[in-house]
A and B are shown apart, each in its own frame.
Chain A
Amino acid sequence: MKGKSLETERNLVWLWWIVPALAVYLVFMAWPLFNSLRLSFYTGTGFKLDNFIGFDNYVRLFAGGEESTRFLGAFKNTLFFFCVHMLVQNVLGLAFALLLARKTIRGKPFFRTVIFIPATLAIVVTGFLWKLILNPQWGPLNIILGEVGLGDWALPWLGESHLALFVISLVSSWQWVGIPTMIFLAAIQGINDDYFEAAEIDGARPSQVLWRIKLPLLRPIIGVVAILTFTGNFNAFDVVFAMAGPNGPPAYSTDILGTYFYRTGIAGQHPVGIPDMGLGAAVSTITFLVLLAGVVIMQALSREPRGDRR
């Protein structure tokens, strides 16, 4: 009865389709978040924050001293963590996708499955397994290295300040490489085959096809993957927590924003455990702002040359 003709594109009726999701989203995500960010201007004991202190929490994070050393260290480590993912996880993902898109490669469903399986594992599982494999005394990796005559390379992987974060980033890339692979693969398969075939007929070398045709066409999707990696990595916590613990050992070299936030804002310092929730909220607010800025910049970069297509 409610005249179908009224359901034009500008009709407010459409709002009713959105309201249920919006309500759940606002009540259980946006509002609690907003409320928590507000706490960054307060201090108190435990989770009771009732003392307004303006920007003091932010000052502590930037003004030098113990807190600031830890925070900036964690920030730097997170950036490094992100770079390794971009260079290893995403480059590998792109390479896998290009391979799996080749018509001549056999066993594609098998490889596709293998590449994605780690993404289905719980972080408890990944962390435990890799710690076992990297164990300096009986870990399979060092046993293999010893057997192929590379005994000198058998290092205490997670115990060296200059190696630990890199190794953890590699493990995390191992786990998540399936996701960029699938996204890239989907994108490549979405590109019209005619482009490549025309180029091949014109006698272009495979490397030329890759650099001149495939990658430029993939540019927007590379942007999407970069953004997903960026948001994922700046929110990362579990993998470091599972493999190194909440303190980011050795010597805070694996301490990322996620673990630093957990220590200050949620758990408190072992073994005392008095959380500084206001400071934690300040850390989160900064994380959120960095994410927002980063996403805006990346989106601009990945769109720029072709102009707005919409």
Chain B
Amino acid sequence: MKITRMVSRIAAVALFLAAGSLFGQNLTLGSWRTDDVAKISNIIAAFNKTYPNIKVKFDPTNPPDYNATLRLQLESGNGPDLFYARSYATGAELFKAGFELDLTSLPAIKSNFTPSAVSAWTTPDGKVFAMPLGAVSHGIYYNKDIFAKYGIAVPKTWEALIAAADKLKKAGVTPFANGVADQWDINEVVMMSILPSAVGGSEGRLAYESGKRPFNDAAIVGAFQQIKDLAPYLPKGFEALTYNDSAALFALGKAAMYFDGSWTVPQFIDQAKGIQWSVFSTPPAKGKKPVVEFHPDSAIAINPASKNIEAAKTFLTWLSGPQGAKAIGDNLIGVFPMSKNAVKLDNEYANTFLSFNTGAGQDARFVWPKLMVGKPSGYDLLQNNTIAVLKGEITPKAAADAFAAGLAQWYKP
């Protein structure tokens, strides 16, 4: 008896120590979301209620430096244990180079996600290289006070949107807050939110990718034409207006509308206190069906060189489970959890964004799945030609032709 008790006591101590060494672990989480520091710490705090021994440190890098520094750190064996992975080819490239752990057999991937949710982080041969975190949506923020003052209803068609913009401009109000100085925003939140409806959603995109439709057909020219429609209604000096400038213009009530992504919701909750605002879906041109730019944005990959792979897996499994999905939904407002366990969101603005999907198609950003891995990349081509059209340097037709010609240099369907 005595001996058994002693043995069991020793065993208990040993188990405790083993558990301690197993779970007393530190993980770093690399990311490009520098503005999420506070929110991610909340999520980690929720995680630590269940797993107090796994310390996760969120360590973001500024977006322009993220790719370069992550790559250098991974190459030198100094990478973070977990890191945000971009979707499609960008993320797959790191997997090919051996910097992302194969997660295909992770039970959480199978049980918590539909195959379509994981598809953006799946290689062509079916290997999953990251666990989806969230999707983002895109639309047009608008100032309710200004809309009410000038009797403008939320536009349901592109033509109505332009008519509203014209009315506002004539009244001396800046219709849209967007600018082109940072380039990516005009590309990702304006042009690529117009394109899904213009080309007919994901089927339309697949037809381009498979070579059935030329990249300068009427639909693409039409999308560039819509860009041209916007030109007169951008702020004075939009050529040099940055992304942050645009957000500030809208938040200060100096512009009536603003194309942006759902991730800006928390910023406006903080800063746009002086105005009443909401958001509507980028309206399709007359006769086109609405398709929302609903983009699988971020996922988390595990560094195979990490010393704490098991802890990393534990974290990801928790994050995709019911508690994790709730923590993401509560904290990362404007990022939509992609796991099956996603709960109902509390935030009205986030729910408005989600409501765009009802009765409308959805598609990822147009160039993301296939068109970014060659030179000149479809991303740059779309961006540069969009800006040139806005500045009146080329016609929509010429822009579509340049887009197609650039892709023709390397893209083979």
Chain A residues near B (Cβ < 8 Å): 45-48, 65-67, 131, 134-137, 142, 154-160, 241, 245-247, 249-251, 262, 266-275
A46–B71 touching, CB < 8 Å: yes
Of B71, B96, B240, the contact of A135 (CB 8 Å cutoff)? B240
A250–B239 touching, CB < 8 Å: yes
Task: Determine the residue in chain A with the shortest Cβ distance to B249.
Answer: A137
A67: chain B residues at CB < 8 Å are 375
- Interface: B41 (CB within 8 A): no
- Interface: B226 (CB within 8 A): no
- Interface: B388 (CB within 8 A): yes
A245–B237 touching, CB < 8 Å: no
Report the separation of the CA atoms of residues A158 and B241 in the bound assembly, to the nearest whole angstrom: 9
B377: chain A residues at CB < 8 Å are 269, 272
A268–B67 touching, CB < 8 Å: yes
B152–chain A nearest beta-carbon distance, Å: 23
B241–A156 touching, CB < 8 Å: yes
Task: Of the listed stretches B13-21, B86-94, B396-404, name the one at the interface; the rest are far from the partner chain.
Answer: B86-94
A66–B376 touching, CB < 8 Å: yes
On chain B, the number of residues with a Cβ less than 8 Å from chain A's Cβ atoms is: 45
B33–chain A nearest beta-carbon distance, Å: 14
A261–chain B nearest beta-carbon distance, Å: 12
A241: chain B residues at CB < 8 Å are 64
Which of A160, A241, A271 has the largest count of B CB atoms less than 10 A from its CB? A271
Chain B 140-183, CB-CB to A under 8 Å as 1, else 0, gives 00000000000000000000000000000000000000011111
B339–chain A nearest beta-carbon distance, Å: 24
A134–B240 touching, CB < 8 Å: yes
B97–A251 touching, CB < 8 Å: no
Of A48, A65, A155, A246, the contact of B64 (CB 8 Å cutoff)? A246
Report the separation of the CA atoms of residues A246 and B377 in the bound assembly, to the nearest whole angstrom: 15
Which of B179, B239, B249, B254 has the largest count of A CB atoms less than 10 A from its CB? B239
- Interface: B372 (CB within 8 A): yes
Given A250-B239, A272-B377, A272-B379, answer yes or no on A267-B68 (Cβ-Cβ < 8 Å).
yes
Q: A159-B240, A251-B388 are in contact. List 4 more A-B contacts (CB 8 A).
A: A142-B237, A154-B237, A249-B181, A268-B71
A140–chain B nearest beta-carbon distance, Å: 14
Given A45-B97, A131-B242, A272-B379, answer yes or no on A159-B68 (Cβ-Cβ < 8 Å).
no
- Interface: B231 (CB within 8 A): no
